[in-house]
Amino acid sequence: MSDTNSWSSKNAVYRILDANLDRAREGLRIIEEWCRFGLNTSQMTLECKQMRQELAAWHSWELRQARDTPGDTGTELSHPQEEERTDIESLLQANLCRTEEALRVLEEYSKLYNPKMGMACKQLRYRVYTLESHLLAYQRHKQLQGALLYLVTSPSEHLFEVVEAALQGGLSLVQYRDKGADDATRFDRAQKLCQLCHHYGALFIVNDRVDLAIAVDADGVHLGQQDVPIAFARDALGSQRLIGRSTTNRDEMERAIAEGADYIGVGPVYETPTKAGKPAAGLDYVRQAATRASIPWFAIGGIDPQNVRDVLAVGAERIAVVRGIMEAEQPTLVTQYFLSQLSKKQQGSHLPGSSVSHV
Ligand SMILES: Cc1ncc(COP(=O)(O)OP(=O)(O)O)c(N)n1
Ligand SMILES: Cc1ncsc1CCOP(=O)(O)O
Ligand SMILES: [Mg+2]
């Protein structure tokens, strides 16, 4: 190889390292800002900062010197998706991916420059993978904590319209429940609902089916007492995704918590045609959950705008509904009404006697 050739390939390697050190640090900075201001988590914020500082230490003067921005043919190229991030998850995912890619490039090209740097970048890449799984788990749990109203869907000609109307009313947690459809239909509907929910920044859970939850990249699965064990679902879903469990009494509640459920359904509070033949667990069980449950729990079963305040009065702070929204004439308004009652309760200023005639 001539001198000129070897100089130009060395220079190209320097430019690749320079560009990817910047790229990895930028990606980390974007993630760090969310950890700091969006999630208020000092541990993950610090982890991002330390990784940025380690990268900065490898960014030597000779690498910076090789930079040639006007001669870089890649500065104008951007993917259309970069212009249209619609939610925080996709923004985080894109920047985690960008950081991991940049670190992989650094790992490979550093072998031609400084093998120690290659090893360091490999370690950093694994740290980013760990950060990714912690971040997604944290993000989902935080969203779950904030969710007061849970829509469990029923088959409907207007499934997507109703769910979207509820999301527009401020709903932040949706479960796709469809006992009768074939797998292809369920997959198709779950995939569309998942996209819709994420577009509105809401969590999306699949009822009964762990495989379907994974297939559509849902935020989690809801399991009843007759569904697969929580341990099986946890193995398949990992710690990042949420697992909900139905409970009808205190024993089931305690077992679900011990087995690692992220939230529980508490009910049926009232008998309901949506689960015909299932006896009501009643308001007494809601009272017990209010004093005993150490994880988020949703009162469910027969809850509507007329009786929601009775359920809140015995200690519920979160509710799940099917017909209350799916069969409402104005799903956005009903959602807003439920949410207003729930947030009043949260603020401790729940007052009896307000009219519900408008829904
Ligand atoms: C939030 C919530 N709570 C309870 C249930 C009921 O689950 P399960 O007992 O498995 O009954 P099906 O919904 O599968 O008929 C739920 N889906 N969601
Ligand atoms: C799925 C489920 N699990 C316990 S009650 C219930 C159905 C609740 O439906 P609705 O809100 O229409 O009474
Ligand atoms: Mg079930």
Residue 77 confidence (pLDDT): 53
Interface ipTM > 0.85: yes
267 Cα to the center of ligand 2, angstroms: 8
Of 341, 307, 357, 349, residue with least CA distance to 169: 341
Known binding residue 73? Answer is no
In 3-state terms, what secondary structure has residue 88? helix
Residue 90 confidence (pLDDT): 82
Q: For 3-26, how does the pLDDT look when each residue is reduced to its tens digit (9 = 90+)?
A: 556 877 889 999 999 999 999 999
Pairing state between β 173-176 and 149-152: parallel
Whole-angstrom Cα distance, residue 222 to residue 131? 26
Residue 358 confidence (pLDDT): 41
Q: Which of the following is catalytic: 25, 140, 246, 318?
A: 246
Helix (H) or strand (E) holding 173: strand 173-176
Overall pTM > 0.90 = no
Instruction: Identify the architecture of domain 147-346 in CATH.
Output: Alpha-Beta Barrel (3.20)
Stretch 90-109: mean pLDDT, rounded? 95
Give me the residue label for tokens 């923004």. Answer: 91
Residue 347 confidence (pLDDT): 86
301 Cα to the center of ligand 1, angstroms: 10
- Residue minimizing CA distance to atom 8 of ligand 1: 224
Asked if residue 266 has pLDDT above 60, the reply is yes
Known binding residue 335? Answer is no
Count Cβ atoms within 10 A of the Cβ of residue 285 and give its class: 0-12 exposed, 13-18 middle, 19 or more buried. Answer: buried
Residue 94 confidence (pLDDT): 93
118 lines ligand 1 (CB under 6 A): no
Count Cβ atoms within 10 A of the Cβ of residue 35 and give its class: 0-12 exposed, 13-18 middle, 19 or more buried. Answer: buried
Asked if residue 71 has pLDDT above 50, the reply is yes
Whole-angstrom Cα distance, residue 334 to residue 356? 9
From 5-14, 58-67, 130-139, the region with the lowest mean pLDDT: 5-14
Specify whether 177 is catalytic: yes
In the chain, at which residue ranges do the beta strands (DSSP E only) sit?
149-152, 173-176, 203-207, 220-223, 242-247, 263-266, 297-300, 319-321
Specify whether 275 is catalytic: yes
Specify whether 111 is catalytic: no
Residue 66 confidence (pLDDT): 84
Following DSSP, what letter does each residue of 94-124 receive, concatenated?
A: HHHHHHHHHHHHHHHHHTTT-HHHHHHHHHH
Asked if residue 174 has pLDDT above 60, the reply is yes
Give me the residue label for tokens 């650094």. Answer: 106
227 lines ligand 1 (CB under 6 A): yes
Averaged pLDDT of the chain: 92
Asked if residue 70 has pLDDT above 80, the reply is no
Taking the CA atoms of 9, 10, 11 and 17 in sequence, report the sign of the dihedral they define. Answer: positive
Residue 359 confidence (pLDDT): 46
322 lines ligand 2 (CB under 6 A): yes
Known binding residue 346? Answer is no
221 Cα to the center of ligand 3, angstroms: 10
Question: For the chain, what percent of residues have pLDDT higher than 90?
Answer: 82
For 251, other C-beta atoms within 10 Å of its C-beta total 9
Whole-angstrom Cα distance, residue 102 to residue 80? 20
Overall size of the chain counted in residues: 359
298 lines ligand 1 (CB under 6 A): yes
Banded model confidence at residue 286, pLDDT cuts 50, 70, 90? very high
Q: Which of 150, 152, 264 to mutate for ligand 2's pocket (most ligand atoms within 8 Å of CB)?
A: 152
In 3-state terms, what secondary structure has residue 299? strand
Stretch 187-204: mean pLDDT, rounded? 96
89 Cα to the center of ligand 3, angstroms: 27
Provide the 8-state DSSP code for 275: G
Q: Which of 175, 209, 246, 319 to mutate for ligand 1's pocket (most ligand atoms within 8 Å of CB)?
A: 246
Enter the tokens of residue 195.
């996209």
Q: For 118-128, how does the pLDDT look when each residue is reduced to its tens digit (9 = 90+)?
A: 999 999 999 99
CB 215 within 8 A of CB 184: no
302 lines ligand 2 (CB under 6 A): yes
Banded model confidence at residue 1, pLDDT cuts 50, 70, 90? very low
249 Cα to the center of ligand 2, angstroms: 16
Banded model confidence at residue 254, pLDDT cuts 50, 70, 90? very high
In 3-state terms, what secondary structure has residue 193? helix
Asked if residue 75 has pLDDT above 70, the reply is no
Q: For 289-332, how does the pLDDT look when each residue is reduced to its tens digit (9 = 90+)?
A: 999 999 999 999 999 999 999 999 999 999 999 999 999 999 99
Banded model confidence at residue 87, pLDDT cuts 50, 70, 90? confident
